[in-house]
Structure 1
Amino acid sequence: MPARAVHGDERTHVESRVRDLLVRKDLLPGVIESVDAEADLWELGMESLAMVGVMVAVEDEFRVEFPDELLTRATFRSLAVITDAVMGLTRGDDRP
């Protein structure tokens, strides 16, 4: 299987885990279940407290720790950006 396909499969899997996690933790109820991965979560009602909940849930689920420089609105803008951050952190890269 080509490397690009493997990376795409990994990305799809991570994004699905992030979405499922946010549903299980009831973060952004009624939004996260069907929102497009690129949709701006802040425009859909996410607030700072919810961002902290997302961060803690993702850190626990993926056994990663967000460095201070990633604790920004931009990192938690969308499922796609959160997925990028998780993938980077699991590879040891601290940039989304």
Structure 2
Amino acid sequence: MHHPNGVVIGGGAVIGQNCTLLQQVTIGERYAVGSDDHRYPTIGSGCVIGAGAKILGGVSVGNGAQVGANSVVIRDVPEGATVVGSPARIVGYRGV
């Protein structure tokens, strides 16, 4: 973690090797009223998670994926994809 200030990682999250997490990143559960779905994200190896990004619920972020700053990930991210926005959407791919 290059700037670990304010990083929150839920107890059930799985994070692969050689990932970069910038400041204010949250990786945790996604709560919904009346839902018993309390799953945590799985982050693949070699991912870059931009400042302020939120990765919520039982989603999977594939190896080598990039999550843009302040993005909100609530759906799976394929391997090598670059996602941005709220909710996050794919804007490109890079070689893995």
Q: Smaller-chain TM-score range?
A: under 0.3
More strand by share: 2
TM-score for the superposition, normalised by structure 2: 0.23
Output the TM-score relative to the length of structure 1: 0.23
More helix as a share of residues:
1
